[in-house]
């Protein structure tokens, strides 16, 4: 049984605890783990991401996939939430993403502007909100200012806050890049220090040791790296994201290592819906199998 923090020991107010309980124990594997379906790529990368499986451009297709999974939640932006979620309202938890950006401008001073509010999420019946924090960006002042408002509203309204903790910008590129163990570990800790309830990170690459600070310049195993990242998140529940579509076995290995290390779950989008419907579900079924092996400790 992984050393994953328990809902009762997180200091959550009743609303946050209620909504996280719903996500973690009333959907998906119902065992304290989570498998999220993110679908914000239409804004983040543009419709080009839908080319491998054109039907994935239709939000209804994705919502049905979330139900079929069954997933613990679907992460979408305000527009899709307004126009499509009502048909499935309450059937799958909604994680409303509050900020986002296009891939068009350069990323040197990356900032993901806010386009929706925690109150929107309440109005839409969401069970969590998502915020992308670009850890290490030169635009940290604006990023923190947006984040401060979101964190405060989420606390006041009892809404779980999921932080996409992404090292980004010219400075991190000069210090070993965005997915080094140094960068991912720092990102997980940053989300924890700043009050995220859940943090989403990429799987760390401990083999990237160039230009990173000690002791990250000494290689460790992936097991050791992900265990450290989970520890850095502390009482902030950790989700590992799938990133761009890669090989299934590599993905399943990442999933297994993450869950064994104490992660709470996975958030896999393109690896799921950039393939045909049935193949998607077969892959999801294998992910669910991993989650089933790592239930939360009883209180």
Site for its own copies in 161-190 (CB under 8 A): 167, 169, 171-172, 175, 182, 185-186, 189-190
How far is residue 96's CA from residue 4's CA, in Å, rounded to a whole number? 25
Tell me: does residue 119 bind its own copies (CB under 8 A): yes
Of these residues, 39, 147, 166, 186, which one is catalytic? 166
Is 293 an annotated catalytic residue?
Answer: no
Tell me: does residue 124 bind its own copies (CB under 8 A): yes
* Eight-state DSSP code of residue 84: H
Nearest distance in Å: CB 59, its own copies: 6
The angle subtended at Cα 223 by Cα 183 and Cα 132, nearest 5°, is: 35
Figure out which of the listed residues 31, 70, 117, 277 binds its own copies, where binding follows CB under 8 A.
Answer: 117
Nearest distance in Å: CB 226, its own copies: 13
Tell me: does residue 245 bind its own copies (CB under 8 A): no
**Residues between 77 and 106 that touch its own copies (CB under 8 A):** 77-87, 89-91, 94, 99-102, 104-106
What is the largest distance, in Å, between two alpha-carbon atoms of the chain?
51
Tell me: does residue 48 bind its own copies (CB under 8 A): yes
CB atoms within 10 A of CB 23: 26
Total number of residues shown for the chain = 299
18: exposed, middle or buried (Cβ count in 10 Å: 0-12, 13-18, 19+): middle
- Find out whether 33 and 291 touch, Cβ atoms under 8 Å: yes
Nearest distance in Å: CB 189, its own copies: 5
- Please give the positions annotated as active site: 166, 200
């Amino acid at each position: 049984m992984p050393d994953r923090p328990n809902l009762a020991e997180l200091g959550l107010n009743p609303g946050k605890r209620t909504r996280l309980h719903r996500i973690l124990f009333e959907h998906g594997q119902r065992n304290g783990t989570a498998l999220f379906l993110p679908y914000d790529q239409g804004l983040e990368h543009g419709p080009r991401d839908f080319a491998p499986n054109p039907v994935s451009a239709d939000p209804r297709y994705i919502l049905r996939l979330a139900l079929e999974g069954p997933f613990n939640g679907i992460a979408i932006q305000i527009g899709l939430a307004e126009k499509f979620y009502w048909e499935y309202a309450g059937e799958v938890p909604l994680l409303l993403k509050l900020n986002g950006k296009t891939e068009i401008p350069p990323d040197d001073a990356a900032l993901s502007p806010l386009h929706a509010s925690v109150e929107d999420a309440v109005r839409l019946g969401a069970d969590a909100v998502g915020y992308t924090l670009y850890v290490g960006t030169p635009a940290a002042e604006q990023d923190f200012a947006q984040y401060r408002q979101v964190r405060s509203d989420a606390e006041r309204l009892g809404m779980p806050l999921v932080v996409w903790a992404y090292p980004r910008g010219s400075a991190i590129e000069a210090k070993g890049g965005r997915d080094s163990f140094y960068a991912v570990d720092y990102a997980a800790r940053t989300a924890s220090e700043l009050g995220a309830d859940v943090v989403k990170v990429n799987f760390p690459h401990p083999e990237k040791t160039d230009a990173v600070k000690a002791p990250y310049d000494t290689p460790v195993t992936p097991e050791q790296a992900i265990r450290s990242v989970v520890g850095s998140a502390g009482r902030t529940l950790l989700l590992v994201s799938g990133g761009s579509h890669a090989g299934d076995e590599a993905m399943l290995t990442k999933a297994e290592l993450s869950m064994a290390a104490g992660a709470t779950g996975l958030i896999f989008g393109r690896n799921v819906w950039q393939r045909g419907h049935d193949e998607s579900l077969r892959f999801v079924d294998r992910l669910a199998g991993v989650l089933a092996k790592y239930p939360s400790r009883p209180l």
